[in-house]
Amino acid sequence: MIPATHGRYDYAPITARPKFDWPRGNGLAVYLGVNLEHFSFGEGLGAELAPGGPQPDVLNHAWRDYGNRVGAWRMLDLLDTLDLPATVLVNSTMYDYAPDLLAAHRSRGDEVAGHGRSNSERQSTMDEGDERALIAEATAAISSAEGAAPAGWLSPWIAESHTTPDLLVEAGYTYTLNWCMDDQPIWMHTRSGPLLSVPYPQEVNDIPAVIARKDNPAEFADLITYTFDEMLEQASAQPLVMGIALHPYIVGQPARLRHLRRALRHITDQREGIWLTKAGDIAARFAAQVPPPTTERQDQ
C-alpha cells in the first residue's frame, strides 16, 4: 500500500538546498512569534491550566485572559528593554477586545500576521466556504486597523483543512507558519500558485512545552538557550531559522517571565552574530533569492 501524501512540498535534505543568505552574512535568523489570542466565554476551545469542568470554565478562561490584561504588557516591556522586534500573531477579535494592546505593538513597528478570528475555533472543522469567510473576515480586520494586509498566517491550533494553503494564496497571503517540517523556508504547492512555509516551532513553543510536557520555567528557558546555541553552531554551514513561539498567558506569568528574560538576554548578547528579525522579513529575503518550484502538486 502506498501511503497518502499531501503533495504540498517536495522532499529535499537539509544538506542539499539552493544557496541563499541572511543580512551581513549571519547564518542564523531568529524571530519571536507572540500570540495575541481571544477566547469565547463558556464555549469553544482553549488551553487549560487545570482540567476544565462544565462550562462556563471560569478558571481557565480567566487564566488565559491574564495574558491580554497583564502578561502581554509585561512582555512589551521586556521586548523594549532588549530591543527585540516581534511578529504578532493576532486573532482578529482582539481589535475589538484589546485595541490598546494592538496599538502598542503597532507603535513598535512589529509585524502583524493573521491568526484567525478566535482561538475558540478550528479551520479544520469547516467546509471550504466557511473557511474562506473566516480568512476573509480576519484579513479585513487586520488590514483596516494596520493599513496593510498581512503577508503571513498561522491557523488557530495549527489546524488546517485540505484546502487551507490554497485559500491562503487566494486571499493574498505569501507565507504560512503552519508547517513545522524544516529549519529553512520551504516553497509549498497550491492550486493557485506558490506559498512559502516559514519555520514556526512546535518544540520551542510554550504551549507544547509548558502545557503538554509540563516543563517548569527554568526548563523552558533552557530549551530556548540550548536550541539557540546548537542552531548557531549548525548555521555556520548554512542559513537557518529559529522561531520562538510565545503566549502571554503562559510566559507572561511572573515566574516564567523571569526565566524568559534570561533566555532572551542570552540571545541578544550575541545579536551581532545573528539576524534578529520578523517572520515576514525572513520570507521576503528568502523569496527574493530562491524562486518557487514550477512543479504541480503530486496529488492533483
The string of pLDDT tens digits covering residues 126-179 is 999 999 999 999 999 999 999 999 999 999 999 999 999 999 999 999 999 999
Asked if residue 65 is part of any domain, the answer here is yes
Q: Within a 10 A sphere around the Cβ of 183, how many other Cβ atoms?
A: 19
Mean pLDDT of 101-105: 98
Rounded Cα distance between 163 and 212, Å, is: 28
CATH classification at residue 208: 3.20.20.370
Q: Tell me the three state secondary structure of residue 165.
A: helix
List, for residues 277-294, the tens digit of each pLDDT value. 999 999 999 999 999 987
Mean pLDDT of 240-263: 98
Q: Which three cell numbers stand for residue 268?
A: 541578544
End-to-end Cα separation, the chain, in angstroms = 19
Kindly tell me the burial class for residue 21, based on how many C-beta atoms sit within 10 Å of its own C-beta (0-12, 13-18, 19 or more). middle
Rounded Cα distance between 124 and 219, Å, is: 32
Closest CA to 250 of 241, 242, 259: 259
Q: Tell me the three state secondary structure of residue 31.
A: strand
What's the domain range around 205? 23-39+56-289
Asked if residue 227 is part of any domain, the answer here is yes
Domain count, the chain: 1
Asked if residue 254 is part of any domain, the answer here is yes
Q: Tell me the three state secondary structure of residue 235.
A: coil
**Residue 209 predicted with pLDDT over 50:** yes
Q: What is the pTM of this model?
A: 0.96
**Residue 159 in contact with residue 263, Cβ under 8 Å?**
no
Mean pLDDT lowest among 45-59, 107-121, 155-169, 179-193: 45-59
Q: Tell me the three state secondary structure of residue 150.
A: coil
**Residue 300 predicted with pLDDT over 80:** no
Asked if residue 16 is part of any domain, the answer here is no
**1 confidence band (pLDDT: 50, 70, 90):** confident
